[in-house]
Structure 1
Amino acid sequence: MRGWKRIFCIIAVMLLPLFFTVSSQARPVILTVAKGFGVSLYASGLDDAKQLALGPEGTLFVSSGSSGRIIALSDDNHDGRVDRRYVIDRNLDWPQAMAFADGNLYVAQGRNILAYRKIEQRLRRPPRPQVVFRDLPLSSAQVAMSMAFSPDGQLYLAVGAGCNVCLPQAPLGSILALDLQQSEIRQVATGVRQVLGMDWSPQDNLLWFADDSREWMGDNLPADEINRLDIAGSHFGFPFIHGRSTLEPMFNRPAALNVSAPVYELPAHVSPAGVHFYRGQAFPPAYQQQLFVAEHGSDNRSSKVGYQLVMLTLAQNQVVKRSTIVSFLDGGFPVARPFAIITAPDGAMYISDDMKGNIYRLFYRAAENEQQESK
């Protein structure tokens, strides 16, 4: 584990400190975690670890934009630590969007979608990827993207606007549904700026996603957004309106434009990235099937906000509470930037950190103790 001398995992009992010793020279890093939870270092040395995808055999796939690598991590003895790592591909052009389905790993690469077939059976000698969707109609292949498979098997691709504030050329600033069999595209949502994570509710299969609002309107404006796609084709406001009520001074909202307002407003500049409904059983019932959000953290603000994993408690399809589960701010100093989140096979949760190239594992103490006693 490059750069880590050793790691101490101490269970927090409210929102109390969790101490990590990063090296023999550096002072301990302090995280805060919710009552009953613990955090351990699952893997390190992963460049700028961004998107995550999980295979049915428990292999965790991690993308790195800066190095162009796709790395597979395997916990062979199921002890919560990586035993083997494999380089699936290298020298790709910013492979930020990934998804897994039917034994195959899918990666957005430039204007194409690649598939690594039956990859979990071929980790030692990864196959050459197949191009399964060609020539996405993008004016730029360098915009922020994320993707995920819907419950009905379609591949959803979120494409960023590629600007702070502008009138993006379609399909920039939208969410697309790709039919890989027919090579067809549907635009299911427009008026978004930068969607780095999306997931479907286990209750009703509606799509939820976070949108990172524009910068340079002050410390407290505009709100970042949590959205739900109730009607295909909905417009979510960008660039005319941010959050529920912040009008954009550079562009007038068309009078006939019907905007779908956010389900919930996050504080300005927390920069939401990954969103994920927790589907495991290891966390207490109050955490199950709730929406977790990785707040990547502020760049352009006088004091730091975000840099944490939060849970949004839902009731009747509305957000009623936002709770910090893990904070990566140590006295106002960020020690990690959470990017993507996914439920592990044992019910823990993986969190990628694109600042230090780590994967953290969030677990619940009682469940962890029960698993150890059963071994």
Structure 2
Amino acid sequence: MKKSALLTSCLCLLLSTTTIFAANPENVLTDSTHQLVEGLKLPAGFTSTVIATGMDGARHLAVTKQGGIYVKLGRLKDGKGIYFLKADKQGHINVQYGFGDYAGTGIFVKNNYLYASSNEDVYRYKLNAMGEVIDRGKPEKIITGLVNHNRDNSKSIAVDDAGNLYVNCGSYSNSCLINGTSLQAPMPCPLLDSVGGIWKFKTNRLNQGYKEGIRYATGFKNVVGLDWNVNTHSLFIMQHGRDQFHDLYPALYSEEDSKSQPAETMYEVHQGSDGGWPYVYYDAKLHKKILAPEYGGDGKKTGGAKAQNPVMDFPAHLAPNGLLFYSGNQFPAKYRQGAFIAFHGKSPVLQKGYLVAFVPFNKNKPSGKWEIFADNFAVGTSQPRPCGLAQGPDGSIYIADDFTGNVYQVKYKK
């Protein structure tokens, strides 16, 4: 067969497969390695379905107890930043509409309210008995005026059981280098008053700013994935590590050092927690806190004696953008109470990325090595970006890919 004919044949097969998913989400094709056609590679017994396409910029997800899915977009689609999806009994999306004229990342459902963020503000919407927003055009603005310098500016959110909302304010500076000339950063870092941490606000107060909030946890460069753990009654976060070691300090760090450092890290945080940024970073090889070069470090000196250690670390540059603690009963016992993490980037060391990982938990702590749960987002696209995670009322989980615009549903069947 000629190359042109072969390519045409492959293209036709790809298009027909996509049509199968769009028309019948339950018709999942697998091969002997459990790799789904135009789907995901998953552990045995799991299947995935593309339940929605065209959600370009789909960042985070929230699912109601009635099964409705709210998708928060990082860029507007037809002028809307939030889309609501609802499936019929056969699993076909038969309700879809958009609202909210702001882009952003954060979205969360709690106690009959939908919370959603732009890159500066957080809003809330009252839900009706069906889990849908009552007045889509008139949200209440509960938090306003958060710092936005167009870098690491996503305001990811989580809500606890006591009426508190936690919001990430990431740093727009890599390591508090703010004057543009010196490679020595100021001490203390003046940015920590408004970025580089997690702030806590009330869910039922309007127009709160920094002065009404509490700097709940500091010393975390940027947190896109976070989740309230209902078992520990505490907040867990995934920190994006810094970069530019070799670019800024070639005498101290090789190009390989920059590829492998620092670790991406998971923390359990409480009021007063301090991760140590920008003064220290967590070394992915030594598994120790190392003094940052901006503060006199040489790549070997330890530091941050009072900064807390992560509960788990991961290879550099994987970019953890989603965190979900599994509380359902559909998946096998090993997954219950464990953490799923959506990695939005690729590790040069692993030569692997764009995946969803799983971390087993026992007695409220990580209890083993992390493993790849969902892989092969790259099938059909050269630049996949898994980002958001959410759990449905039936115990299935949903994954958003903000590059392809796909929303996947993952189920387990004995």
2:388 to 340, 359, 373: 340
Query: Does the 8 Å CA contact 2:104/2:155 hold for their aligned counterparts?
Result: no
Any unmatched runs of 5+ in structure 2? 1-14, 22-26, 177-188, 246-257, 283-287
Distance 2:244 2:391 in 1: 34
CA shift at 1:290, angstroms? 0.7
Count of residue pairs the alignment pairs up: 349
1:131 to 131, 141, 148: 141
- 1:308 equivalenced with 2:355 (yes/no): yes
In the other structure, the counterpart of 2:289 is: 245
- 1:161 equivalenced with 2:171 (yes/no): yes
Distance 2:303 2:135 in 1: 57
Query: Does the C-alpha gap of structure 1 residues 35 and 186 become closer, same or farther in structure 2, counting only changes over 3 Å?
Result: same
Query: Does the C-alpha gap of structure 1 residues 66 and 330 become closer, same or farther in structure 2, counting only changes over 3 Å?
Result: closer
1:60 to 58, 63, 69: 69
In the other structure, the counterpart of 1:370 is: none
1:18 to 36, 49, 53: 36
Query: Does the 8 Å CA contact 2:321/2:341 hold for their aligned counterparts?
Result: yes
1:44 to 46, 50, 53: 53
In the other structure, the counterpart of 1:371 is: none
2:99 to 88, 93, 104: 88
1:222 to 247, 262, 274: 262
In the other structure, the counterpart of 2:83 is: 71
Larger-Rg structure: 2
Structure with a larger share of its residues in strand: 1
1:144 to 125, 150, 154: 154
Q: Percent identity?
A: 25
2:273 to 224, 231, 234: 234
- 1:34 equivalenced with 2:43 (yes/no): yes
Query: Does the 8 Å CA contact 1:12/1:34 hold for their aligned counterparts?
Result: no
Compare 34-43 and 312-321 and name the one that shifted more: 312-321
CA shift at 1:187, angstroms? 1.2
Distance 2:142 2:192 in 1: 24
CA shift at 1:123, angstroms? 5.5
Give the partner amino acid of 1:247: L
CA shift at 1:256, angstroms? 7.8
**1:146-180 deviation line (CA, Å, top 9, x unaligned):** 00101222111111112333243422111011024
Distance 1:135 1:216 in 2: 29
**1:216-255 deviation line (CA, Å, top 9, x unaligned):** 34221111001111x4211102112222334321234897
Distance 1:240 1:197 in 2: 22
Query: Does the 8 Å CA contact 1:86/1:124 hold for their aligned counterparts?
Result: no
Q: TM-score, normalised by structure 1?
A: 0.84
Compare 189-198 and 317-326 and name the one that shifted more: 317-326
Query: Does the 8 Å CA contact 1:240/1:252 hold for their aligned counterparts?
Result: no
CA shift at 1:335, angstroms? 5.5
- 1:178 equivalenced with 2:201 (yes/no): yes
Q: TM-score, normalised by structure 2?
A: 0.76
CA shift at 1:329, angstroms? 5.3
Query: Does the 8 Å CA contact 1:9/1:38 hold for their aligned counterparts?
Result: yes
In the other structure, the counterpart of 1:276 is: 324
Distance 1:350 1:32 in 2: 15
Give the partner amino acid of 2:356: L
CA shift at 1:270, angstroms? 1.0
Query: Does the 8 Å CA contact 2:331/2:395 hold for their aligned counterparts?
Result: yes
Query: Does the 8 Å CA contact 1:139/1:169 hold for their aligned counterparts?
Result: no
Distance 1:219 1:346 in 2: 40
Give the partner amino acid of 2:195: L
Query: Does the C-alpha gap of structure 1 residues 121 and 277 become closer, same or farther in structure 2, counting only changes over 3 Å?
Result: closer
CA shift at 1:103, angstroms? 1.9
